[in-house]
């Protein structure tokens, strides 16, 4: 099997849950081999560790164990983040997968299916994991908050989901950080008075946005206003000032781009032809930032080029 999709969507959790259901606690260790990107997974490991595990003969489960767990007659090798494996290591896997297919099954997990070589991908059933839908993610976050005794303000869960973009792992991390922050401030406020309600403070939308580094709508709106075409010579001054203030406040260029992109793409007053050009500028600047360009200059360049596109008649 080949599981692929964005991070935090349950790929590893799915295969581990399946393995536990198939083999139970006693046979998990002997029947399942999990190798992560943090483990050494070069060609030598594929030739030795993976091959040795794949060719190992199966032991029969004790009497009565099969009535509780199905224990199918094969082992499972889980290769997490398989897209970080070298091409040579992936090629070495190919033969092993075929030779021992009777007693060993493989599950490759990756974020980018294009980085898995075609001969491997063609030997697998592909399962695409989409970003989690808001309903299920919301239920899970509310359940975690309830079990952990964390109070949530109305809209806080929606803010968590929005800022994590379908990545449940990231949303849970933000929730944990927000709860810690609330706990810390509550404890500090309580002081020595043990009778004060320490957990009375709720996780608010603002706390979630602060933890996630979300830029306030007003700041983004100021930038959009500055980008709007006006008298010749005025645009640069306005844009430069807003961008300088944003850099001084410490907002990240990546987050600025994400929110500015949403503000412009969903703006009905901008014609589609101009939106096409604007998106091309965004992709170019995004590539520059990934390559390590200066954030201040990149955002300034992006804003002025978008302003130029909007001012074209």
Same domain, yes or no: 79 and 16: yes
User: Domain boundary at 178, 212, 246, which?
Assistant: 212
Same domain, yes or no: 119 and 6: yes
Q: How far is it, in rounded angstroms, from Cα 298 to Cα 23? A: 53
Same domain, yes or no: 26 and 98: yes
Same domain, yes or no: 92 and 23: yes
Same domain, yes or no: 10 and 121: yes
CA distances from 81 to 2, 3, 131, 169 (A): 11, 10, 17, 16
Residue 207: closest CA among 173, 186, 184, 179: 179
**pLDDT score for 62:** 85
**pLDDT score for 196:** 41
Q: What is the CATH number of the domain that holds 272?
A: 1.20.272.10
The structure's pTM equals 0.81
Same domain, yes or no: 274 and 304: yes
Same domain, yes or no: 7 and 123: yes
Q: What is the CATH number of the domain that holds 171?
A: 1.10.8.60
User: Domain boundary at 85, 103, 128, which?
Assistant: 128
Same domain, yes or no: 193 and 279: no
How would you write the pLDDT of the chain (313 residues) with one tens digit per residue? 999 999 999 999 999 999 999 999 989 999 999 998 878 888 888 888 999 999 999 988 888 888 999 999 999 999 999 999 989 999 989 989 999 999 999 999 999 999 999 999 999 999 999 998 889 999 999 999 999 999 999 999 999 999 998 899 999 999 999 999 988 666 555 555 444 444 458 999 999 999 999 999 999 999 999 999 877 778 899 999 999 999 999 999 999 999 999 999 999 999 999 999 999 999 999 999 999 999 999 999 999 999 999 988 6
* Cβ within 8 Å of residue 127, ≥6 positions away: 1, 2, 3, 4
Q: How far is it, in rounded angstroms, from Cα 254 to Cα 285? A: 10
Same domain, yes or no: 167 and 194: yes
Same domain, yes or no: 88 and 150: no
Domain range for 76 is 2-128
> How many independent structural domains does the chain possess?
3
Same domain, yes or no: 221 and 173: no
Q: How far is it, in rounded angstroms, from Cα 213 to Cα 172? A: 15
**pLDDT score for 189:** 56
Same domain, yes or no: 120 and 151: no
CA distances from 158 to 112, 217, 218 (A): 28, 16, 19
User: Domain boundary at 212, 242, 277, which?
Assistant: 212
**pLDDT score for 185:** 64
**pLDDT score for 37:** 81
Which letter, b or e, does each residue of 116-141 get, where b requires 16 or more Cβ atoms within 10 Å of its Cβ?
beeebbeebeeeebebbeeeebbeeb
**pLDDT score for 198:** 44
**pLDDT score for 47:** 84
Q: How many CA atoms lie within 13 A of 207 on its CB side?
A: 23
């Amino acid at each position: 099997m080949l599981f692929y999709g964005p991070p935090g969507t349950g790929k590893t959790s799915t295969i581990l849950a399946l393995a536990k259901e198939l083999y139970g606690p006693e046979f998990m260790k002997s029947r399942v081999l999990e190798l992560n990107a943090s483990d050494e997974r070069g060609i030598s490991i594929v030739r030795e560790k993976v091959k040795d595990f794949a060719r190992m003969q199966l032991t029969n489960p004790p009497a009565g164990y099969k009535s509780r767990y199905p224990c199918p007659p094969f082992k499972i090798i889980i290769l997490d983040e398989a897209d970080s494996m070298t091409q040579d290591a992936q090629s070495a896997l190919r033969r092993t997968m075929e030779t021992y297919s009777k007693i060993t099954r493989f599950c490759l997990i990756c974020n980018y299916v294009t980085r898995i070589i075609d001969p491997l991908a063609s030997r697998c059933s592909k399962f695409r994991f989409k970003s989690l839908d808001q309903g299920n993610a919301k239920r899970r976050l509310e359940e975690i908050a309830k079990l952990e005794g964390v109070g949530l303000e109305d809209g806080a869960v929606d803010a968590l989901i929005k800022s994590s973009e379908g990545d449940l792992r990231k949303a849970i991390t933000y929730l944990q950080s927000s709860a810690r922050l609330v706990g810390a401030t509550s404890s500090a406020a309580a002081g020595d008075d043990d009778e004060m309600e320490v957990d009375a403070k709720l996780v608010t939308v603002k706390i979630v946005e602060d933890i996630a580094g979300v830029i306030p709508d007003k700041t983004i709106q100021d930038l959009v206003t500055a980008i709007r075409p006006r008298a010749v010579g005025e645009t640069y001054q306005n844009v430069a000032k807003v961008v300088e203030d944003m850099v001084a406040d410490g907002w990240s260029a990546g987050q600025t781009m994400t929110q500015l992109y949403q503000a412009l793409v969903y703006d009905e007053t901008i014609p589609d032809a101009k939106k096409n050009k604007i998106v091309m500028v965004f992709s170019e600047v995004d590539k520059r930032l990934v390559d390590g360009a200066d954030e201040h200059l990149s955002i300034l360049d992006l804003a002025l080029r978008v302003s130029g596109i909007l001012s074209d008649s």
